[in-house]
Structure 1
Amino acid sequence: MTSTAFPSRDDPVAAAASEWIGGPAGRHAMPGGGWWSPLRIALAVACVVLALGVISKQPCHERSWETRDDRTVWTSLCYSDVPFLYQERGFADGAVAYLDRTDLEYPVVTGAVMQISAYGAQAVQSVLGSEAENVTLAESVRFYEITALLMAVSALVAVVATARTVPRRPWDGLLVAASPVLLLSATINWDLLAVAATSVAILAWTRERPGWAGVLIGVGAAAKLYPVLLLGAMLLVVMRAPDRRTAFRGFGRTTAGTAAAWVALNAPVAALSWDGWAAFFRFNAERGADFGSAWYAIGILAPDLLRDDIDRLVVGAGLIMLGLIVVLAMVAPEPPRLAQLAFLAVAAFLLVNKVWSPQYTLWLLPLAVLARPRWRELLVWQVAEVAYFISIWFYLAGFFDPEHPMISSEVYAWSVLLRVAALLWLCGVVIRDILRPENDPVRPYAEMESHDHSRGAKGAIPA
């Protein structure tokens, strides 16, 4: 095995595909030997993918996302929450998030980005002029465009962080950059803010910057709550560290950094408007089984099975799955990598959550790449996600226009269960790698990196 991974030699699918361009890289090939380094190639691919994603929204863009009752929004597969929330959460009326309106169901970092983007949209539209028939609709389109740009930057940050987390595997960033999930879901909502923060937090952890890792987790949790799950994964890896005392000190700094960053970002808003700040928590506590979740699919296919309180089922299933992850981490023959446990933790959260929107899969993307960077496994999983992406919009076309359904409720429910099965299968592959470390494609390279920097003596565990 060489000291640096080449996909055309390391990945069977990439090796087969390389035959079209001359075959696998030779023994003397050097990564990044020219200007087009693996990272620059990944960034270029990401820019193309993100641009194609925006272009795919063009049918809705031309119609200004005027109303959800417009079937074009659904049949053209171009829906985005962004322009609608500009109109529906008071931004178009000049309201300040959390203060003037208490119905914004997003954490404070996402709310702040929305507020700044709203100001930017209004400023840009004022420069362009108010010749539009409906200024509010025009501003909502500017709001989407600014958001799309910010999400693109966030995606590029995630690509860079993924490529650099295991330096001897610089091509892994391409698996994020070329993802169908990134193309389809990048601009549906603001999830890439948390994805970027989480990706850089993992990078900071691998670079022995536990305090900064914690700060980034806190920032990510103030954008979407799921990055907090990284703390549990980190706790499990330090429990298997060679030098637990040193590792626990680092984990303590990570936890402190998370708490400090989260409180610093949330406390001012909570102090100024408790009701506005708490809207996110109220909304998620009160909602029932919603689109995309296994519970919603079961409710369609077997409604009698969900007579009990859905919250108790969610909590119970979640505790069981997280308990199994703890047992797995403790019985594994070698200490699991952080990315493996983080992927399993976030996957478990999505599998039992009351809602699983299409863009939530972006949470898993960099984690899946770091946990199992193989084209075949990642593509099989994402094919199921693409199938669900199509089915949810076709289902919602009939949901908003019941007289003209495009697919039945049962077909939609089976598409949900298909994505559940695909994610469970990918989790199974990662679990197999944990129990049989010789199958893990990342571990040899991560351990070489650890050895080079003497990280094992400091109690750290490869990412």
Structure 2
Amino acid sequence: MKRIVDRLGPNGPYLALALTCLLGWGFKAHCGAGWTGSEQYTTGCYSDAVPFWGMRGLADGKVPYFQARMEYPVLTGALIWVEALFARVTAGVRADAATFLNAVVLGNAILAFAILEMIRGVGLSLRRQYAWALAPPLVLYLGHNWDLLAASFAVAAMLAARRDRRVRATALAALGGAAKLFPVLMLPLLGLGALFAPRRSHRDRFVGAASLVVVAIAAWGAVNLPVAALAFDNWREFYAFSGERPGTAASMWELMAQFGWWITDVPTRNLWSFLLFAGGAATIVAAGWRRHGEQPWLLFTPVLAWFLLTNKVWSPQFDLWLWPMLVLTGTRARPMALFLLGDVAAYFAEFWMFAGMEGASPSATHTDILTAALVRAVAILWLIHAAVRDPAPSWARFTRSREDAKA
């Protein structure tokens, strides 16, 4: 393996990522637009792009929010519209769900390369670059959904924070929250970093933290308020849907309900998932502050990991939120590998359970999902422990004189 890496040289990660994107396209596109015999579940080729093409008016050229409902935040809705437009322009009257799926894969591939370019720009080692370029989650989810847009904003925000550009990091995290909500988890960490910044007066700390609040509201509002003002009901659907949905098969809450350990209604589940997350996140920040207090943005990775573990919804592609953060800040290879194993196992266990519900094979049960989810949960708890206890990777240790620190 080392010989291959040496022969490919510094551009090897680009070639590796191109291969990964090709595999990701093949993994989803081989089913085409017309699923038969539950093949979307048995082979794992299910993609949200296929039902979205017809069910959200994309085939007819309708604009999300203004002419059609959309259960995603506005920047993701805008990306979906652009990709649908690309599909219709390039294929004309022959455009169908398969064409749109290809456009989604292309859009996500561009974002995957953008993330690779960003992490190369801060001097990450080739090992970390290959950890992104050859990531199994990219194969599973490149054509699954649109989460890489928010992940790109989160990576950009983290790298801006590393350079001590807090205003830029705040704006990027807030914009990421306009694509999927999870990047906003970085905002309190950036605010705390400004509020407790060393070698600054109390007044400067307060003004700095307050200014970040204003920046976050302005950035988020700039893309949300125009849509909310003109199409409020469709704009709010994401937030209403998030509050009303009960959960997904691989979340801890749904698994507890399935096995009769704790059956709750949706409002109770919302409350307890929030309380558990908030308490755990505060504990993570408090425990990690002594080591990472001057760079609290590093704690975004364990806070996000805890959010995934305690959230009532754990859609398969959510693992793609965490993986780029682990590539950047992970300190231990074994729990990262265990996380990938749990991710792949949970993905197929969940979709094979759906296959079994339709009488198809291979099939799986809730016990299979629980086993995979436990593997993933152990990995996440291990990763959280490491993130709190271990020193930051050397590239992340901000110094104004050495921007090219290696991981």
Taking structure 2 as the reference length, the TM-score comes to 0.89
> Could you list the runs of 5+ residues in structure 2 that have no partner in the other structure?
none
**Shift of the alpha carbon at 1:248?**
6.1
Q: What amino acid does structure 1 have at the position aligned with 2:273?
A: V
Q: How many residues in Structure 1 have an aligned counterpart in Structure 2? A: 402
- 1:282-321 to structure 2, matched below 5 A, reads 282-306=240-264, 309-321=268-280
Which residue does the alignment assign to 2:117?
Answer: 160
Q: What amino acid does structure 1 have at the position aligned with 2:102?
A: E
Which residue does the alignment assign to 2:91?
Answer: 125
Q: 1:36 to 1:418 in 2, by over 3 A?
A: closer
Which residue does the alignment assign to 2:78?
Answer: 112
Q: Identity over the aligned pairs, expressed in percent?
A: 29
Q: What amino acid does structure 2 have at the position aligned with 1:320?
A: G
Q: What amino acid does structure 1 have at the position aligned with 2:388?
A: I
Aligned partners of 1:210 and 1:253 also within 8 Å: no
Aligned partners of 1:201 and 1:216 also within 8 Å: yes
Aligned partners of 2:37 and 2:360 also within 8 Å: no
Residues in 1 aligned to 2:400 and 2:155: alpha-carbon distance in whole angstroms: 23
Which residue does the alignment assign to 1:196?
Answer: 152
- 1:115-264 to structure 2, matched below 5 A, reads 115-126=81-92, 130=94, 138-165=95-122, 167=123, 169=125, 171-238=127-194, 241-245=197-201, 251-264=209-222
- 1:267-282 to structure 2, matched below 5 A, reads 267-282=225-240
Q: What amino acid does structure 2 have at the position aligned with 1:193?
A: L
Residues in 2 aligned to 1:240 and 1:163: alpha-carbon distance in whole angstroms: 30
Q: What amino acid does structure 2 have at the position aligned with 1:423?
A: I
Which residue does the alignment assign to 1:53?
Answer: 24
Render the CA deviation track for 1:366-395: whole Å, top value 9, x for unaligned: 211222144433222111111111111111
Residues in 1 aligned to 2:360 and 2:135: alpha-carbon distance in whole angstroms: 35
- Structure 1 position 323 matched with structure 2 position 282: yes
Q: 1:338 to 1:50 in 2, by over 3 A?
A: farther
Aligned partners of 1:221 and 1:262 also within 8 Å: yes
Which residue does the alignment assign to 1:343?
Answer: 301
RMSD of the alignment, in Å?
A: 2.9
Q: 1:405 to 1:387 in 2, by over 3 A?
A: closer
Aligned partners of 1:74 and 1:393 also within 8 Å: yes
Aligned partners of 1:298 and 1:413 also within 8 Å: no
Render the CA deviation track for 1:193-236: whole Å, top value 9, x for unaligned: 01111111112222333222222212211110111111122234
Render the CA deviation track for 1:393-449: whole Å, top value 9, x for unaligned: 1111123x158671122222332232222212222222231xxx3xx5x14x544x5
Residues in 2 aligned to 1:348 and 1:356: alpha-carbon distance in whole angstroms: 12
**Shift of the alpha carbon at 1:87?**
1.1
> Could you list the runs of 5+ residues in structure 1 that have no partner in the other structure?
1-16, 26-33, 131-137, 455-461
Render the CA deviation track for 1:163-186: whole Å, top value 9, x for unaligned: 334x36465222211211122112
Q: What amino acid does structure 1 have at the position aligned with 2:101?
A: Y
- 1:394-413 to structure 2, matched below 5 A, reads 394-399=352-357, 401-402=358-359, 406-413=363-370
Higher-Rg structure is: 1
Render the CA deviation track for 1:111-158: whole Å, top value 9, x for unaligned: 1111122222122221xx54xxxxxxx421111111111101111111
Q: 1:258 to 1:170 in 2, by over 3 A?
A: farther
Render the CA deviation track for 1:281-310: whole Å, top value 9, x for unaligned: 010011112232111111112254546821
- Structure 1 position 452 matched with structure 2 position 364: no
Residues in 1 aligned to 2:253 and 2:246: alpha-carbon distance in whole angstroms: 9
Shifted more, 244-253 versus 147-156: the winner is 244-253
- Structure 1 position 265 matched with structure 2 position 223: yes
**Shift of the alpha carbon at 1:239?**
5.1
Which residue does the alignment assign to 1:30?
Answer: none
Render the CA deviation track for 1:81-105: whole Å, top value 9, x for unaligned: 112111111222333211222x311
Aligned partners of 1:293 and 1:354 also within 8 Å: yes
Aligned partners of 2:197 and 2:205 also within 8 Å: yes
Q: What amino acid does structure 2 have at the position aligned with 1:298?
A: M
